[in-house]
A and B are shown apart, each in its own frame.
Chain A
Amino acid sequence: MGVIEKVPAYIEKIPGGGIVTTSMDWVLNQSRASSIWYMLFGLACCAIEMMATGASRYDFDRFGMIFRASPRQADLMFVAGTVTHKMAKRVKILHEQMAEPRYVIAMGGCACNGGPFYYDCYSVLKGIDKVIPVDVYIPGCPPRPESLMEGCLRLQEKIKREKLSDWSSDRKNA
């Protein structure tokens, strides 16, 4: 146990190469955090910023994040944009179709708590965390691409802190 506490990975040189001793948690978390495939779920104006962040100037692909259009093939769902009551049911269904481990980032003011539509609005759901569990909230209207990337890096840090026992079948992740 002393080896694991000292360094995340312990490299020992032996003749003919080396041996890396590490922990399963660390390897799995590193690999999961370095290749988060996100589902394109742009609903409104924040979708434009998400697309801009995925484009060439602020690139998502250098973090290993590729967009997949289907929830079955994605680990992360960016809820980008205003969610109405009518759409909230569909968001819940799509979230349940994603395979675990899955994460949700609430992007923009509308997904965090209703945003500019908090007062005097009959149709907007005040925050997507009323229907699905959210990992990272990114405020802004819309958030700059740099903010969005900072949110993804925070999510990567959150993933790296996880343990294998978090995703076992006994513990339901909401």
Chain B
Amino acid sequence: MTKEDIIRKLQDKFGSDLEVVQNNQPEPFVYISKDKYREFCRHVKTDPELDFDFLFQLAGVHYPMPSAGSGSSDERFEVVLSLSSHAKIHRMVAKVKLDIIDPEIETISDIWAAANWYERESMELFGIKFLHHPDPRPLLLVEDWEFGYPMRKGWTGPDFIPMPEK
């Protein structure tokens, strides 16, 4: 399906909870609201025409200050999903905005099993809580890490040497 067809199909189903980002990418970028997140994920996976059965990236993003070009100027965290389909050969990017203080979202590791480790990584590096996650252990950092969430902007730690200004 082409980019416009996917966007039209999703807008028919979700209406005002969906917001499309206008850019020049060949794949659709959509923002979905937080309370329709799980329904959206289940729909794009099980719908026979969309058929996004492959989640190949789930990443957290931290926007600590008003930033231009992202569609909104609030401080927030985001979770970005990159989805693709093996049978239909199309891709999509879905994003959801979270609060800047205590970001939390439901887990989708029962919809796509790959989300399990990606969510563990985001939990550990950003501090985003994924509710009802089956295995919320830390994944990448040292076992006795106690220096905060390293991938947030402005983080410093004991062994962290920032690049000197020119």
Contact = CB atoms under 8 A, between A and B. Distances in A.
Interface string A108-124: 00000000001111110
A122 B162 contact: no
A137 to B, nearest CB: 19
Interface in B135-166: 140-143, 150-151, 155, 157, 159-164
Contacts of B162: 119-120
A85 B160 CA distance: 12
B125 to A, nearest CB: 9
A89 B155 contact: no
B141 A86 contact: yes
Contact of B141 (A118, A123, A126): A123
A125 B160 CA distance: 10
B161 A122 contact: no
A120 B142 contact: no
Interface in A86-132: 86, 89, 118-123, 125-126
A119 B161 CA distance: 5
B142 A122 contact: no
A125 B141 CA distance: 12
Nearest to A120: B163
Nearest to B125: A122
Nearest to A86: B142
B140 A122 contact: no
Interface of A: 85-86, 89, 118-123, 125-126
